[in-house]
Amino acid sequence: MKKDFTGIVGVVLVGVILLTFSGTVYSFIRGAKTPVSAVRTAAVMDDGAHARVLAIDPGHGGEDGGAVAADGTKESDIDLLIAEDIDALCLLFGIPSVMTRNADESLADRFPDDTAGGRKARDLRGRLRVAEESDAALLLSIHANKFPDPSVHGIHVFYSPNGDDSLAAAGIAQEYVNEKLQPENRKESKKADSSIYLLNRAKMPAILAECGFISNGDELAALKTPGYRASVACVLFAAAAEYLSRKG
């Protein structure tokens, strides 16, 4: 059954308020989470079908900080904080979710049976494996961008070339970003090129959100505030929920 769009936005606004103003509630929610090592299994719905799982992938981590801003801010830290907010919203609103990482760590050593290649290759394969083993209906990877021209800014959503579902999910996410968060943003969702391993190897619908440019002073300053990160998380969460409800 299709969920009412305004209803989703309404509950998401409640989530923004909770996440922005109540560190206690947020800490409680985070503390209630199952560690990623014990992947949560999908909830069983009334009709016996499995609820659709959202796999949330905070980019980089551990020895791989991703892009680094002029002030030393690591992309991997911002990625994790936004992903945690999305994960908390999933818990609040009853969408089964799994995080590929919950800490500043590489996934290179997560699966001892996978020893081929270097740490980066094992890390990326580990992320896919977490998503596959949770039978995710959508993989949402969270990143932040960097560019030599400091004026470049704005959230940009990429999609896996693996089919129409990835295209649809990214379209919803970019539309939500442009309509609800960044009215000046004219970006359109873009097919991932071969350099984005996760989107090119994923079999399930998969998208990647570059949540802003840490090379842009204003966007970096915003991304360092809990309120703005929560806003980004809410928009991406709402888009994911909308996609999952359309497919459900």
Count the neighbouring beta carbons within 10 Å of the beta carbon of residue 171.
17
- Helical spans, DSSP H, in 94-225: 119-133, 164-176, 197-201, 217-223
Smallest gap from residue 90 Cβ to Zn ion (A): 21
Q: Is residue 61 part of the contact set for Zn ion (CB under 5 A)?
A: no
Q: Is residue 66 part of the contact set for Zn ion (CB under 5 A)?
A: yes
Q: How far apart are CA 82 and CA 138, in angstroms?
A: 17
Q: Is residue 101 part of the contact set for Zn ion (CB under 5 A)?
A: no
Q: Is residue 240 a contact partner of residue 177, using CB atoms and an 8 Å limit?
A: no
Q: How far apart are CA 187 and CA 69, in angstroms?
A: 22
Q: Token pair for residue 221?
A: 């300053």
Query: Which lies closer to Zn ion via its Cβ, residue 42 or residue 196?
Result: 196
Smallest gap from residue 64 Cβ to Zn ion (A): 9
What H or E segment, with its residue span, contains residue 191?
strand 190-191
Q: Applying CB under 5 A, which part among 16-24, 140-148, 150-158, 195-203 lies near Zn ion?
A: 140-148
What residues between 19 and 48 interact with Zn ion by CB under 5 A? Answer: none
Smallest gap from residue 194 Cβ to Zn ion (A): 16
Query: Which lies closer to Zn ion via its Cβ, residue 48 or residue 118?
Result: 118
Smallest gap from residue 141 Cβ to Zn ion (A): 8
Smallest gap from residue 77 Cβ to Zn ion (A): 12
Residue least distant from Zn ion (Cβ): 143
Q: How far apart are CA 130 and CA 39, in angstroms?
A: 8
Chain length of the chain: 248
The only residue of 58, 59, 205, 212 in contact with Zn ion, by rule CB under 5 A: 59
Contacts of 50 (CB under 8 A, 6+ apart): 42, 43, 44, 135
Q: What separation in angstroms does the CA of 127 have from each of 105, 107, 190, 199?
A: 12, 7, 22, 11
Q: Applying CB under 5 A, which part among 11-19, 27-35, 54-62, 176-184 lies near Zn ion?
A: 54-62
Query: Which lies closer to Zn ion via its Cβ, residue 57 or residue 165?
Result: 57
Query: Which lies closer to Zn ion via its Cβ, residue 59 or residue 126?
Result: 59
The only residue of 101, 143, 146, 153 in contact with Zn ion, by rule CB under 5 A: 143
Where does residue 58 rank: exposed (0-12), middle (13-18), buried (19+ CB within 10 A)?
buried
- Helical spans, DSSP H, in 75-161: 75-93, 119-133
Query: Which lies closer to Zn ion via its Cβ, residue 75 or residue 165?
Result: 75
Query: Which lies closer to Zn ion via its Cβ, residue 60 or residue 110?
Result: 60
Smallest gap from residue 205 Cβ to Zn ion (A): 20
# of chain residues touching Zn ion (CB under 5 A)? 3
By the criterion CB under 5 A, which residues form the site for Zn ion? Answer: 59, 66, 143
